[in-house]
């Protein structure tokens, strides 16, 4: 009988707690992410999804426990320098610069890794090929989101941290998002996505963050109460 050791998870949240603004967001959380896996973060507004993504990106430190990449604590300087090169980050701030064309806004990402030729196919896949030489101020909200998705493809990084990537996308855009997530995972990539909207991600793990505040009367409750309005 061979006693082969199970492979180390690529990314491991080991008993991680995380604070924001003096409040606990995560408490003793354990998650193992192997190559090709996906984690979906859900929870109410303010529950800490973005904070958790920021922690995984190294902007915030865990208040307890460790985030381990290949078994190494990502907060250690030597490790972080390597770890940050694994990350592709899509945030609500699109950081699209109006001084440059749509193409230039994407190509800048591919040049970070000196891997050329990825931007135009990425823009074409996102349905933006004909707008490549336009200035981004002419783009709609959903088209700007598609530019962000093209950047994910232009920069070849294995760990995707996606903060509400489906916001502003139409049905076709959502299908494209689902397709590129599935394709990235097929190649061994890891995807961690915070979302309020359902995104079809096969065999994903789910982590629902508890609400930050005890539930009082919600806006919906208030709107249901006519006597509150009159």
Ligand X SMILES: Nc1ncnc2c1ncn2[C@@H]1O[C@H](COP(=O)(O)OP(=O)(O)OP(=O)(O)O)[C@@H](O)[C@H]1O
Give the footprint of Mg ion on this chain (CB under 5 A).
49-50
Q: Name the token pair of 4.
A: 């082969």
Alpha carbons 87 and 99: distance in angstroms, whole number? 26
Residue 51 touches ligand X, criterion: CB under 6 A: yes
Interface map 31-50 toward ligand X (x if CB under 6 A): ------------x-xxxxxx
User: Cα–Cα distance between 146 and 81 in angstroms, integer?
Assistant: 29
Supply the minimum distance, in Å, between the C-beta of residue 146 and ligand X: 21
Question: Which does residue 212 bind out of ligand X, Mg ion, none, counting CB within 5 to 8 angstroms by kind?
Answer: ligand X
Closest separation in Å from C-beta 166 to Mg ion? 13
The residue within the footprint of ligand X, chosen from 2, 21, 133, 220 (CB under 6 A), is 21
User: What's phi and psi for 51, nearest 5 deg?
Assistant: -60, -40
In whole angstroms, what separates CA 53 from the centre of its chain?
7
Q: How far is the CB of 41 from ligand X (least distance, A)?
A: 8
User: By the 8 A CB rule, do 11 and 159 touch?
Assistant: yes
Rounded least distance, CB 3 to ligand X, Å: 42
Which of the choices Mg ion, ligand X, none does residue 21 contact, using the CB cut-off of 5 to 8 A by kind? ligand X
Q: What residues between 59 and 118 interact with ligand X by CB under 6 A?
A: none
Per partner kind, with CB cut-offs from 5 to 8 A, the member of Mg ion, ligand X, none near residue 146 is none
Picking from 44, 15, 26, 10, the residue whose alpha carbon sits closest to that of residue 160 is: 10
Closest contact distance (angstroms) between CB of 110 and ligand X is 28
Complete DSSP assignment for 61-119? --SEEEEEETTEETTSHHHHHHHGGGEEEE-SS----TTS-HHHHHHHHHHHTT--S-H
Binding positions for ligand X, rule: CB under 6 A: 20-21, 25, 43, 45-51, 212
């Amino acid at each position: 009988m061979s006693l082969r050791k199970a492979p180390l998870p690529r990314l491991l949240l080991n008993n991680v707690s995380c604070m924001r603004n003096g409040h606990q967001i995560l408490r003793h959380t354990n998650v193992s992410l192997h190559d090709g896996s996906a984690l979906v973060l859900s929870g109410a507004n303010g529950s800490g999804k973005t904070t958790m993504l920021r922690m995984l990106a190294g902007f915030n430190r865990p208040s307890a426990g460790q985030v381990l990449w290949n078994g190494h604590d990502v907060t250690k300087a030597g490790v972080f320098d390597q770890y940050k090169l694994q990350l592709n980050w899509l945030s609500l701030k699109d950081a699209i610069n109006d001084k440059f064309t749509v193409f230039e806004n994407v190509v800048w990402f591919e040049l970070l890794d000196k891997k050329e030729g990825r931007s135009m196919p990425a823009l074409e896949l996102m349905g933006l090929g004909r707008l490549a030489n336009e200035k981004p101020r002419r783009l709609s909200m959903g088209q700007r989101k598609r530019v962000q998705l093209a950047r994910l493809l232009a920069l070849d990084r294995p760990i995707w941290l996606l903060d509400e990537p489906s916001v502003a996308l139409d049905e076709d855009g959502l299908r494209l998002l689902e397709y590129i997530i599935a394709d990235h995972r097929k190649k061994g990539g890891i995807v961690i996505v915070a979302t309020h909207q359902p995104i079809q991600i096969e065999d994903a793990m789910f982590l629902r963050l508890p609400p930050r505040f005890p539930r009082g009367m919600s806006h919906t409750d208030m709107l249901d109460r006519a006597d509150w309005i009159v």
